[in-house]
Structure 1
Amino acid sequence: MKSVVICGSQRYKEDIKTFANRLRKLGVHTVFEPNFERQRKKMLKKEEKERLKVKSYRDRVPAMVHEHFDRIRKADVAYFYNKKGYLGVNSTLELGFAHGKNMIIYALEPEEAEKGGEICRDILFTEIIETPEELVKRLV
């Protein structure tokens, strides 16, 4: 079975963890996910531009980005947990990196340009996959 890396915004930390755990229960042995454990709950709710105003957060960002790039490097497939079509700056960077690696890229939801989404991100998604059960079928 192929390995998968999950990418997405810190604001969806709990949803991403639930999705990853469900994949594991369905038999996916290697599921890489973002490490949001170091973030306080109040920071998770803020927009990235607000988090970046806090020096201790700014100091941690480079390490977090490099750590997740390493997870992307190790995975066979990338899955973007873009609830409501949302991908932040870091996830957009990860999307470009995954594309540069010629990875298959799945996403939770389309990013509809007519609703304010970014077409440059949407065209990189191989397929929209809404559930862990659907994703497992693509990883076999």
Structure 2
Amino acid sequence: MKSVVICGSRRFEKEIRKFGRDLRKLGVVTYEPILNKDTKINELSPNLKRFAFLGLTHHHFSFIRKADVVYIFNKGGYLGVSTTMELGVAEGLGKPVYAYSDEDPESARVVLYDEIIKTPKELAKRLK
């Protein structure tokens, strides 16, 4: 079975965690974003704050490199800045990209989705 990295916004944290759990139950190796909500990160000195965000960003980029495919959890078509960057990294690496929704108002992102897949079961089946 192939591996998948999930990319998505903190606003979907509960749904992303459930999607990831369900994939793992189906035997899929799954990498999930950290989705940091600790506001104390903003209290760091500018230099430390920069390195904290650099670490979080590159940590998820490493998951994208490791995974066989990328899944964009974009419920309602929403993609934030970080997920848009992750989509670009995935495309640059030639990774297949699956997404939850094609309702995105940005056509330049939608054309990068290889397929729309709504459920962990559908995705696991596609990965076989």
Please tell me the residue identity of whatever aligns with 1:92.
T
Q: Tell me the distance in 2 between the aligned counterparts of 1:32 and 1:19.
A: 11
Please tell me the residue identity of whatever aligns with 1:26.
L
Secondary structure of residue in 1 paired with 2:72: strand
Shift, 1:55, TM fit? 4.5
Question: Is contact 1:107-1:125 (8 Å) kept?
Answer: yes
Shift, 1:71, TM fit? 0.4
Shift, 1:8, TM fit? 0.3
Question: Is contact 1:111-1:119 (8 Å) kept?
Answer: no
Matched, 1:137 2:125: yes
Secondary structure of residue in 2 paired with 1:103: coil
Percent identity, please. 48
Superposition misfits of 4+ residues, deviation over 4 angstroms: none
Shift, 1:131, TM fit? 0.4
Q: Match of 1:76?
A: 68
Question: Is contact 1:111-1:121 (8 Å) kept?
Answer: no
Unaligned runs of 5+ in 1: 44-51
Secondary structure of residue in 2 paired with 1:39: coil
Secondary structure of residue in 2 paired with 1:79: strand
Q: Match of 1:118?
A: 106
Please tell me the residue identity of whatever aligns with 2:13.
K
Question: Is contact 1:6-1:34 (8 Å) kept?
Answer: yes
Secondary structure of residue in 2 paired with 1:84: helix
Q: Tell me the distance in 1 between the aligned counterparts of 2:56 and 2:11.
A: 15
Please tell me the residue identity of whatever aligns with 2:112.
L
Q: Match of 1:20?
A: 20
Matched, 1:33 2:32: yes
Secondary structure of residue in 2 paired with 1:125: coil
Q: Tell me the distance in 2 between the aligned counterparts of 1:132 and 1:87.
A: 19
Secondary structure of residue in 2 paired with 1:106: strand
Q: Tell me the distance in 1 between the aligned counterparts of 2:125 and 2:6.
A: 16
